[in-house]
Amino acid sequence: MTVDAASHLAGHTSAIAPPAGPQDANRTTDVVIIGGGPAGLTAAYELLKRSDAYHPVVIESGAMVGGIARTENHNGYRFDIGGHRFFTKVKEVSAMWQEIIGDEFLTVARSSRIFYRGKFFAYPLKLFNALSNVGVYESIRIVVSYVRWRVRPHPIEDSFEEWVINRFGGRLYMHFFRSYTEKVWGIPAAQIRADWAAQRIRNLSLVKAVWNAISGANDTVSLIEEFRYPRLGPGQMWERCAALVEDRGGQIRMRTKAIVFHRAGMCVTSVDVIDSGGNVHSIPTQQVINSMALGELLPAFDPPPPAPVMEAAAKLKYRDFLIVTLVLARADPFPDNWIYVHSPDVKVGRIQNFRAWSADMVPDPGTASIGMEYFCQEGDELWTASAVDLRALATREIAALGLAQPGDVIDAAVIRQPKAYPVYDSEYKAALDVISGWIDELENFQTVGRNGLHRYNNQDHSMLSAMYAVRNILGESHDVWNVNVEQSYHEEIELEKTEPDQPKIEQLHANYTV
């Protein structure tokens, strides 16, 4: 049986909080928090932890908490919306993880590969494996190309393509960056801004990659070899967090969407929400912390922002995502946590093996749960395909890659995730500058998280932005737009010295969503 998202989203552990009754309809809620993902739930948790004076209400449009970091469940098979590794140099984030779910963390050894030109390349790079796969002649061409671009690099690094070529050379860019990047984003790499490259593959070059391969010393975030992972997936973290928020007096209203932000001048006075039954409620508020997408947020203000701000909001673009999880009647068809699929011959972009993340993600050890991930646009051919057709596509493609046989597939589930990735195209930066300038003029409104900041960030960055927003409410002064902009993986942030009895994993780098 193939199950689509709409038919199995009822498993959230947190109760739906009722709307305000007649006796308290005019009571002002202290803080309305939009979104029940990592940023929104962190804001609620931190507010209740740091102060008894505020009453947070979290508004979540979905049926599960966790946002893109949730863990879905289909017939006992648990699977993520992409893989989520837990590691950070930010002590506040690490402490929160430990407080909420420390007893349920596993330490997982990373295993990942790249599929390209019919061969599997170890990733992080293993020198002899790479040389064997590309051959001596092409290896020489890669080195020559690298030298050529180091001697005469692109003078301006506006695009992803220019940034990568300057650091890796044209041949390696062609082999290992262009095809996968364009599959993920659906636009030419030359149209993607260089700041996305600087954020996602910071502190890595060809020389460093080769040295890592020879020495085994991987100190670049995207190459981290060990990470923590909740036993039942990242959703376990946020389900526990939601329960703690409610236990401490906060509210979480599920299947409820914010539709209007009423303002008097530059102060938001109330938020209108609509529940799953179509009922509209108005929530008076003193403060708002938002994590919904800016492209949806700004048109919801009443009165609306000035025309230039609305025009800027319309320019922000997003990349959508869907996962077809195949249940196989065989265990461990491959050992990797995940595989990047660079081959243009198939549509799948990345493949997860959820049992390799945690054995408890799979109820039957004689079976496997394999996530076939597709990057798409809402409304395109992939997005609108039926669950039956998507199961057939994923089955064909896993067989074409030699990872399983069609007859191995005994079940499947499909999940669609809109606005999974903010797009860094040629228009986004100027648009974001206009938007942030106007939002900063609001007296009691802050925006945080991946979509709230329109930044393709990591889970701990989203959490840190929410923590800073809470501290602003409590009297501190932090610029949430520039939380760790120069250090997107927190590579330069110093931890207090780790005690000898603390686990090695505590010293690793920032959380990275693969």
CA distance 453 to 447: 6
Q: What is the pLDDT of residue 207?
A: 58
pLDDT score at 142: 87
Q: Using alpha carbons, select from 371, 34, 39 the residue that is nearest to residue 238.
A: 39
Q: Which of 183, 186, 176 is nearest to 349 (CA)?
A: 183
Q: Is 496 exposed, middle or buried (0-12, 13-18, 19+ CB in 10 A)?
A: exposed
Residue 200 is predicted with a pLDDT of 62
The string of pLDDT tens digits covering residues 338-372 is 999 999 899 999 999 999 999 999 999 999 999 99
Q: What confidence tens digit (pLDDT) does each residue in 447-472 have?
A: 999 999 999 888 999 999 999 999 99
Confidence of residue 492 (pLDDT cuts 50, 70, 90): very low
Summary mean pLDDT of the chain: 85
Q: How far apart are CA 88 and CA 68, in angstroms?
A: 19
Tokens, residue 333:
């068809």
What band does 217 get if pLDDT is binned at 50, 70 and 90? low
- Given a contact cutoff of 8 angstroms between Cβ atoms, the answer to whether 41 and 65 are in contact is yes
- pLDDT digits over 401-458, tens only? 999 999 999 999 999 999 999 999 989 999 999 999 999 999 999 999 999 999 988 8
The two tokens of residue 423 are 């797009």
Residue 25 has pLDDT above 90, yes or no: no
So what's the pLDDT on residue 466?
A: 97
Environment class of residue 362 by beta-carbon count within 10 Å: exposed (0-12), middle (13-18) or buried (19+)? buried
Question: Would you call 422 exposed, middle or buried from its count of C-beta atoms within 10 A (0-12, 13-18, 19+)?
Answer: buried
**Quick check: 506 pLDDT over 90?**
no
* Joined tokens for residue 225: 């070899």
Angle at 46 between CA 45 and CA 52, to 5 degrees: 90
Q: What is the pLDDT of residue 77?
A: 97
**What is the pLDDT at residue 135?**
87
pLDDT for the residue numbered 495: 34
- 239 or 182: which leads in pLDDT: 239
Closest C-alpha among 446, 437, 352, 400 to residue 83: 352
Whether the pLDDT of residue 489 is over 60: the answer is: no
**Where do the structural domains in the chain lie, given as residue ranges?**
125-217
Mean pLDDT is lowest, of 21-35, 71-85, 108-122, 288-302, for: 21-35
Query: What is the crossing angle of helices 307-315 and 428-439, to 10°?
Result: 140
Task: Determine the pLDDT at residue 353.
Answer: 96
Distance of CA 505 to CAs 32, 83, 235, 495, Å? 35, 18, 20, 13
Is residue 501 over pLDDT 80?
Answer: no
- Report whether pLDDT(126) > 90: no
- What DSSP line would sit under 263-311, residue for residue? EETTEEEEEEEE-TTS-EEEEEEEEEEE-S-HHHHGGGEESPPPHHHHH
- Nearest alpha carbon to residue 442 among 258, 312, 263, 309: 263
What is the C-alpha to C-alpha distance for residues 32 and 17, in angstroms, rounded to an integer?
14
Report which listed range, 146-150, 161-165, 198-202, 290-294, is most confident.
290-294
Torsion of CA 5, 85, 459, 212, to 10 degrees: -130
Place of tokens 């005019």: 26
Position 331 confidence tier, pLDDT thresholds 50, 70, 90: very high
Sign of the CA dihedral with 253 first, then 413, 226, and 129 last: negative
Contact criterion met (CB below 8 Å) for 86 and 313: no
| pLDDT score recorded for residue 125 | 66
Calculate what percentage of the chain has a pLDDT beyond 70: 83
